[in-house]
C-alpha cells in the first residue's frame, strides 16, 4: 500500500464496495463514486488543461491526435497525452492516484502496478467518438501482462452529450475481437474492433470526480463531445507484471503499425536507448 494512510485505504475500499465488486466481475465494468475528493478537482482540471494547452510532450510523441493519420495541423478532434504525470509530477501525488491504486490492489492483488496513464481531452463541439475497442488489442510485444484494470476518471460531469463511456456488459468474458487501425491506416494510432455487436451497450454517465473501472477485454467506446465545454478524462491502468505473461508476438493488426507519434518518439530518443530497445524487442521475439 506504500504511503497510503489507513483512513485512505478504508475510504478507497468503501468506494469499491459501493460500486460493487460483483458488478465488475459480472459486467466487466463498475462505477466508483467520488474517487476524486471535491477539493482536489479544481487543481486537477487546472493542471490538466495546462498540459493540453501547451501540447506537453509533442516533440517526443507523448502528445498526439488518436485519429489524425497525417498530423497535418489544424484542430485535433481526439487529442491524447501519454503519461501526464511525467509532465506534471503533482499528478502522481494526488488522492486520485492513491485511491485508484488502492482499488487496483484490492481487485488485482497487492502486486498491482500502474502500467499506463493517459488523458483524452475532447474539444467542445468537435471532439470525436472513441472507436469501439478492447484495450487488450493494444498490448504489443514486450507487454508483461495479459489482463489490466483501467480506472477512467471524469474531471467534470459527463453524459451522452459530453461523450461518456459506453460498455457492452459481460463482453470481458467473450473473445478478443479482431481489430484494425482507424481507416486501416498503419500510421493512425486508434484501434477499432471490426463489426462489434454493440446492441446491448449501455452508457455510463458520471459526475465530476467519479470513475468507472473496466477490464482490459471489456468492449467499450465513448461518444462525441457535442457540448460547449471540453470533456476531460484521465485513465490510470493497472496490472501485475509477470515475465511468464510476456507478449512475444504482435497481434496481426499491430504488425507493421508505425504512427506519426512513434516517429516523433523515435527521433527524440538518444541512439543508445534506441539500440537498447531494438535489442530487447528482438530478444523477446526470439523467446529469451
Residues lying near Ni ion in the complex (CB under 5 A) are found at 135
- Decide if 254 contacts 138 (C-beta within 8 A): yes
Which one, 105 or 135, has the nearer CB to Ni ion? Answer: 135
Select 107 or 268, whichever has its Cβ closest to Ni ion.
107
CA 122 from centre of chain? 14
**Is 117 or 135 the residue whose CB approaches Ni ion more closely?**
135
In terms of CB distance, is 68 or 135 closer to Ni ion?
Answer: 135
Q: What is the residue whose three cell numbers read 490510470?
A: 236
> 245 with 239: CB under 8 angstroms?
no
The residue (of 136 and 265) whose beta carbon lies closer to Ni ion is: 136
Given the complex with Ni ion, which of 135 and 210 has the nearer CB atom? Answer: 135
Q: How far is the CB of 216 from Ni ion (least distance, A)?
A: 8
Contacts of 173 (CB under 8 A, 6+ apart): 28, 217
| Cβ nearer to Ni ion, comparing 222 with 284 | 222
Note the Cα 286 to chain centre separation in Å.
29
CB of 235 to Ni ion, least distance (A): 7
| CB of residue 125 to Ni ion, shortest distance in Å | 23
**Least distance (Å) from Ni ion to the CB of residue 120?**
9
By the 8 A CB rule, do 113 and 241 touch?
A: yes
Shortest Cβ contact with Ni ion: which residue?
135
Q: How far is the CB of 200 from Ni ion (least distance, A)?
A: 18
| 130-133 sheet: strands from edge to edge | 130-133, 220-222, 165-167, 202-204
Min dist CB 134 to Ni ion, Å, is 8
Closest by Cα among 218, 202, 8 to 94: 8
Shortest Å, Cβ 267 to Ni ion = 27
DSSP 204: E
Phi-psi region of 10 (alpha: psi -120 to 50; beta: other; left: phi over 0): alpha
The DSSP result for 28-92, as a single string, is SEEEETT-S-GGGHHHHHHHHHHHHHTTTTTTTTSEEESS-SS---S--SSEEEE-HHHHSGGGG
C-alpha distances (whole Å) from 148 to each of 2, 96, 174 are 20, 18, 16
In the complex, the smallest distance separating the C-beta of residue 13 from Ni ion, rounded to whole angstroms, is 25
Q: Phi and psi dihedrals of 125, rounded to 5?
A: 70, -40
> Closer CB to Ni ion, residue 131 or residue 209?
131
- Give me the half-sphere count of Cα atoms (radius 13 Å) on the Cβ side of residue 117: 17
Amino acid at each position: 500500500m506504500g504511503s497510503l494512510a489507513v483512513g485512505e485505504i478504508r475510504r478507497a475500499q468503501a468506494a469499491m464496495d459501493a460500486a460493487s465488486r460483483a458488478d465488475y466481475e459480472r459486467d466487466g465494468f463498475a462505477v466508483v463514486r467520488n474517487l476524486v475528493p471535491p477539493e482536489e478537482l479544481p487543481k486537477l482540471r487546472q493542471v490538466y488543461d495546462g498540459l493540453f494547452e501547451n501540447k506537453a510532450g509533442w516533440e517526443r510523441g507523448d502528445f498526439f491526435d488518436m485519429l489524425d493519420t497525417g498530423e497535418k495541423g489544424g484542430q485535433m478532434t481526439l487529442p491524447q497525452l501519454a503519461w501526464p504525470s511525467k509532465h506534471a509530477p503533482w499528478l502522481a501525488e494526488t488522492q486520485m492516484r492513491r485511491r485508484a491504486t488502492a482499488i487496483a490492489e484490492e481487485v488485482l492483488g497487492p502486486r498491482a502496478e500502474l502500467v499506463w496513464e493517459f488523458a483524452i481531452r475532447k474539444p467542445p463541439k468537435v471532439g470525436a467518438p472513441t472507436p469501439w475497442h478492447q484495450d487488450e488489442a493494444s498490448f504489443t510485444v514486450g507487454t508483461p501482462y495479459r489482463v489490466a484494470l483501467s480506472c477512467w476518471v471524469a474531471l467534470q460531469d459527463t453524459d451522452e452529450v459530453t461523450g461518456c463511456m459506453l460498455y457492452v456488459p459481460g463482453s470481458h468474458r467473450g473473445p478478443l475481437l479482431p481489430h484494425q487501425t482507424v481507416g486501416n491506416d498503419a500510421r493512425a494510432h486508434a484501434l477499432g474492433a471490426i463489426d462489434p455487436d454493440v446492441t446491448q451497450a449501455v452508457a455510463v454517465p458520471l459526475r465530476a470526480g467519479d470513475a468507472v473501472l473496466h477490464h482490459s477485454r471489456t468492449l467499450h467506446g465513448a461518444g462525441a463531445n457535442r457540448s460547449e465545454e471540453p470533456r476531460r478524462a484521465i485513465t490510470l491502468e493497472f496490472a501485475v507484471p509477470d515475465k511468464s505473461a510476456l507478449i512475444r508476438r504482435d497481434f496481426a493488426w499491430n504488425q507493421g503499425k508505425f504512427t506519426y507519434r512513434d516517429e516523433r518518439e523515435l527521433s527524440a530518443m538518444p541512439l543508445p536507448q534506441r539500440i537498447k530497445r531494438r535489442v530487447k524487442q528482438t530478444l523477446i521475439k526470439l523467446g529469451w
